[in-house]
A and B are shown apart, each in its own frame.
Chain A
C-alpha cells in the first residue's frame, strides 16, 4: 500500500497519525508546496505580533516524519492529479503514484478584484511566508498605520498582531458589524467597544473601493462612501475558500463549495480522500455539508480519512462552527448557531453583565442546545459544546444552564455516567 498526501498541515498530520496507528509498514509520502516542516498556521499572527518566535512555530516535534516513517517532498508543487492512472504530477517534471490519496490542500485567501490591489504593501495573510514578508515590509517601510479588510476572526487576529507592533489599525467590514458570522449583535458590539478602547477603528457596512499608491507603495485607501483612510499597509483578511485548483474538471471528483466527501472522508472517486479547509464535510447542526475552515475539523477529518485509508472503518460524526478568540485580551468563544432567526422554535437563555464585560448566551432549539456565545468568561465552555454535539435534551437541568455553579454536577446522574463511560464516575 502506498499512501500519498497532498498538503502538510493539520489534516495531513491527522491522517499520518491515524494511518500509523494501524499500519506501521506501508509507505507514506507527503507532497506540499510550502518548504517548511509542519507548522501551526494559526500561529502566524502570533509570529507577526512578536509573541511567538520561529522556533515555536512547529506543530509536531522535529523528528515527526522520521518517527512516522514519512517521506516528504516539501517545497514541491503538485500540478495535476490523475485519478485513473493513480498518479500526481509535480512541477518541474516527475510523477508520484499512489494506492490511496488524501487531498488536504487547505484554503486559498480571497482577494476581491480591486484597483490598487497589486501595490507594494498589500498582502493576504495565511502562510508563514506571508508573515515574513509583512514583517519585513513593516520594518523596511516603518509602517505606522494599517488597514485590515475583513472584520472576521482572521481580521481580528491580524489586528491583534499589528497592535502588538504598535501599528494603528482600521478595520473595514462589509457587514454592519464585526464578527457577524460568529457572534450576535450584542457580542459584536462588545468586541467593537473593546477594540475602540485599544484605538482600533472599525468601519462597518462599507468596503474598500480603491487603494491608492505613491511611488508604487500603499498610501491610502478610499472606501465606498468616499472616506479616505491613510495607511502604509493593507491586509486582506476576508477569509479562505477551499483550494480545489488541482482537481481537473473531468476527474469525477465532485466539487460544490468545497470538495464533496462522504462520512468516511472519501471523495466521489474510490481511494481518493479529502480533508481540511478544502472540503465541504458534514455539519451536524444543519444536517448538510459545508466548508467549516477551522483547525479542529481539519485534524479530525484528516484522522478519519487516515483510518479509512488504512482500511479501518471510521465515520466522521460531523462538526459545527466553533471558534475561540481573544479580543484585546478578552477571551471569547462562539459555538454553533449563535444568532438564530426570530422564530418560536428557538429559545434564548442569556446573561449580560455590562460592568464586568461578561456576556453568555445559549441558543436552544426544541430543548436542545444548538449554539453558545461566551464573552469575558469562557470557563468550562466545552461542557456546552459537548451538549450541542451530543444533542442532549436539556429540560431536566435547563434552569441551571447559566447558573454560576453549572457543571457536570448539574447534569442528570445517568447522563453524567454515560459521558464518562461508566468507569470514570461510578454511580
Chain B
C-alpha cells in the first residue's frame, strides 16, 4: 500500500481544483487504484556526498561537474547534498502497457495515479532524510531533479551510477536518459546549516514556465 494525493492524480488528468469526476470515471478510478496498489513495489536509495561550488552555476559532487544556474541557486550555501532515487517498480510499466492494449481510459488513469504515488513516495523518503539531517543539525533544501530548469537530463546517468540504482533498486537509464521503470525519480537535496524559510516544491523553481503540467 502506498498513499497518494487524489487531487494530484486528478490534476494530471486535467481536472481543475474543485472539479470532481463523474460516477463512471469515479468507479474506474477506484478500481484502477486498487490494481495499482497491487502492482507497485516502491524502493529507494540515497547517499550523502560533499558538494563544492567553485563558481556561480558550477557544482562539483563526487567527481561530477554540473553546470546549472537553477540547481546552483537551489543549493546556495550547502556544503553537502543527498542524492536520492526512488521507483515504484516495473509492475507499473506492465500494468500500463496491458491497459494500453485494451482500454486506454484505464491506461491514463493508471498513469495519473502512479504519477501521484511516486510524488508521495518521494515525499516520504524526503521526510526520512530531513529527519536524518536534523540529527546532524542540518536542514534539507527542496529536492531538485535532472530535467528541472537547466539541470540537464543527462545527469540522470551520473545520479544512477553514484547510487548504483540498477543493482540496488532496479532503476535504469535508457540511452536517451529516460528512467526505466517509468515511474521513478532521481533528485539532489541540498544540506545546509541554515534553515530555508520557504519549502518550495519543484514546479515553482522550474524554469519551464510553459510546461503543460505546471501547477
Does B bind A? no
